[in-house]
């Protein structure tokens, strides 16, 4: 009986996993089962498969990753319930240089909180910033969706970012540096293609529920535009304070740990584990203490960990099992060798696999968890394609697939709010998305020349 090539095995199992996910089978379950099937197919014994899967699911890295996801989702929910994010968004309108900029910045900054379907939080704000309907509903919906995900590749609180760092072994600072290019590129492309400067000035926007005569930024609870600039910025700072505490503590402790850890003599694994998780946990603690001291107190955190968080945790565990079984079975390395022997450039698979995974799952950690273990095998350390360049390229194409996916909850809720079809939204951001991919290819090519 002829041996099935490793690449064919990968593609068959990959197709079955994404088909199951598209059929509403839980992504974590389908990924874990797919990993088990592939490992058995590659010749691993059943007991070895169980041992490897359990060891990964119960490893300190996986357990800390699960705990971090739960804490981030709880903090995101508390920011919403406490009213801090609403206050922050409303005062943003008062300090922005123009309604157009505020219309882009509101979903972008709300996007700092990675919650499922989070575009529904920013949709009313974007809607209210164009009361005279200078722009079409499809354009507003596309703007809300596009800018809501402008930070996804470089923001350390996103599950996809955290999973990328975990799978690739890159520290958060390095991954931010590699993907930081995407933030200004996506923002500028969105302004040019989705929110072009109108022929005449936009009417001053009103906040949700405000009277038609209220000026831009005069939302309830926000500093009106007629207030002194200092007052408006003070209100803005109060709204952003919890998030600023999280990030400030995270960055400060990360830098401090980098300075003192060599003198502590910890083992490499423990040192990496502390560096990856301790600063962000303590940052979330600082932000949470601030929220607890506010008017809502503990009520802000009531019910903040719900079914959506538990589903996310199950997905992460399943993806980690999928990843470790692929690695143990040597699938990625074998597939890379077969591609090289067939004369097919690895870079084609590095781009295509994350794109397809993003398209069929519609979630960031979906394309990272399913495709990145294979991508790393296609770009081994010291290979012709620098690994970090491959990670950048794979991230960009996975992001593009996710943005185009009709399964992406944020696109669905944004379309529902503005009462437009998904196709009309996609038409509005197809051009900037293509331009972003072209930019990512050029950037990854430059990295490939510069990186060792």
Q: What span, in angstroms and rounded, lies between the C-alpha atoms of 347 and 334?
A: 16
First CA to last CA distance, the chain: 42
Q: With residue 159 as reference, give the H or E element that holds it.
A: helix 159-168
Average pLDDT over residues 328-345: 73
Contact 150, 434 (CB under 8 A): no
Q: What span, in angstroms and rounded, lies between the C-alpha atoms of 353 and 359?
A: 10
Average pLDDT over residues 291-308: 79
Determine the pLDDT at residue 439. 98
The secondary structure of 192-210 as a DSSP string is: IIISPPPSSPPPPP--TT-
Instruction: Answer positive or negative: Cα dihedral of 129, 130, 132, 137.
Output: negative
pLDDT more than 70, % of the chain: 84
Cβ neighbours of 57 (radius 10 Å): 16
Q: What is the DSSP letter of 26?
A: -
Map tokens 């972003």 to a residue. Answer: 436
Please state whether the predicted TM-score (pTM) of the whole model is above 0.85: no
Determine the pLDDT at residue 227. 62
Nearest CA among 254, 240, 337 for reference residue 290: 240
> Which of 164-178, 263-277, 329-343: highest mean pLDDT?
164-178
Higher pLDDT, 116 or 100: 100
Contact 168, 276 (CB under 8 A): no
Structure tokens at 432: 């900037």
Determine the pLDDT at residue 216. 40
Query: SS3 of 265, please?
Result: coil
Structure tokens at 180: 């930081």
Map tokens 């830098």 to a residue. Answer: 255
Higher pLDDT, 391 or 223: 391
Higher pLDDT, 109 or 351: 351
Query: SS3 of 105, please?
Result: helix
43: left (phi over 0), alpha (psi -120 to 50) or beta: left
Residue length of the chain: 452
Nearest CA among 391, 418, 424, 344 for reference residue 169: 391
Structure tokens at 189: 């492309």
Determine the pLDDT at residue 16. 85
Contact 207, 128 (CB under 8 A): yes
Q: What is the DSSP letter of 132?
A: T
Residue 181 in this model has a pLDDT that exceeds 80: yes
Determine the pLDDT at residue 207. 40
Contact 113, 159 (CB under 8 A): no
pLDDT digits (tens, 9 = 90+) for 72-108: 778 877 877 777 766 666 667 667 777 788 889 888 8
Residue 169 in this model has a pLDDT that exceeds 70: yes
The secondary structure of 350-373 as a DSSP string is: HHHHHHHHHHHH-SHHHHHHHHHH
pLDDT digits (tens, 9 = 90+) for 137-163: 999 999 999 999 999 999 887 888 988
Residue 356 in this model has a pLDDT that exceeds 60: yes
16 CB-contact burial (10 Å; exposed 0-12 / middle 13-18 / buried 19+): middle
Structure tokens at 279: 């600063």
Determine the pLDDT at residue 64. 87
Average pLDDT over residues 347-365: 83
Q: What span, in angstroms and rounded, lies between the C-alpha atoms of 220 and 317?
A: 43
Average pLDDT over residues 412-423: 82
With residues binned 3-state (H G I as helix, E B as strand, rest as coil), the percentages for the chain, rounded to 5, are 75, 0, 25
Least confident of 71-80, 342-351, 417-426: 71-80
Mean pLDDT across the chain:
80
Q: What's the pLDDT band for 221 if we cut at 50, 70, 90?
A: very low
Q: What is the DSSP letter of 299?
A: G
Average pLDDT over residues 47-65: 90
Determine the pLDDT at residue 138. 92
Instruction: Answer positive or negative: Cα dihedral of 289, 183, 410, 311.
Output: negative
Cβ neighbours of 342 (radius 10 Å): 9
Q: What is the DSSP letter of 215?
A: P
């Amino acid at each position: 009986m002829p041996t099935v090539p490793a690449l064919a095995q990968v593609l068959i199992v990959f197709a079955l996993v994404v088909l199951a996910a598209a059929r509403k089978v839980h992504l974590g379950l389908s990924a874990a089962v797919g990993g088990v099937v592939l490992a058995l197919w590659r010749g691993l014994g059943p007991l070895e498969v169980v041992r490897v899967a359990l060891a990964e699911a119960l490893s300190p890295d996986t357990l800390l990753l699960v705990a971090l996801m739960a804490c981030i989702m709880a903090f995101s929910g508390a920011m919403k319930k406490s009213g801090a994010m609403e206050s922050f968004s409303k005062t943003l309108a008062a300090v922005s240089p123009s309604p157009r900029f505020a219309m882009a910045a509101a979903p972008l900054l709300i996007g700092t909180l990675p919650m499922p379907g989070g575009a529904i939080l920013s949709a009313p704000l974007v809607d209210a910033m164009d009361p005279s309907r200078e722009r079409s509903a499809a354009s507003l919906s596309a703007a809300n969706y596009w800018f809501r995900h402008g930070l996804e590749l470089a923001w350390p609180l996103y599950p996809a970012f955290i999973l990328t760092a975990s799978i690739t072994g890159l520290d958060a600072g390095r991954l931010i540096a590699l993907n930081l290019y995407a933030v200004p590129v996506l923002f500028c492309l969105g302004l040019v293609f989705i929110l072009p400067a109108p022929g005449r000035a936009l009417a001053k926007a009103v906040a949700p529920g405000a009277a038609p005569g209220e000026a831009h930024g005069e939302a309830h609870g926000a500093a009106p535009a007629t207030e002194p600039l200092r007052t408006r910025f003070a209100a803005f700072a109060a709204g952003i304070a919890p998030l600023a505490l999280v990030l400030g503590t995270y960055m400060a402790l990360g830098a401090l740990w980098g300075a003192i850890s060599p003198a502590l003599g910890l083992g490499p694994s423990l040192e990496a584990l502390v560096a990856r998780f301790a600063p962000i946990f303590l940052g979330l603690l600082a932000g949470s203490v601030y929220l607890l001291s506010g008017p809502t107190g503990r009520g802000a955190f009531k019910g903040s960990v719900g079914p959506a968080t538990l589903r996310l945790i199950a997905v992460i565990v399943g993806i980690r099992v999928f990843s470790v079984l692929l690695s143990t079975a040597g699938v990625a390395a074998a597939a890379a060798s077969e591609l090289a022997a067939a004369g097919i450039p690895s870079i084609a698979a590095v781009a295509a696999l994350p794109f397809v995974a993003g398209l069929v799952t519609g979630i960031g950690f979906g394309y990272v968890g399913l495709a990145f273990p294979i991508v790393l095998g296609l770009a081994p350390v010291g290979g012709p394609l620098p690994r970090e360049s491959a990670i950048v390229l794979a991230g960009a194409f996975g992001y593009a697939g996710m943005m185009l996916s009709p399964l992406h909850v944020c696109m669905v809720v944004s379309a529902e709010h503005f009462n437009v079809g998904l196709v009309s939204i996609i038409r509005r951001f197809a051009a900037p998305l293509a331009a972003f991919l072209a930019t990512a290819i050029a950037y990854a090519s430059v990295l490939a020349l510069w990186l060792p």
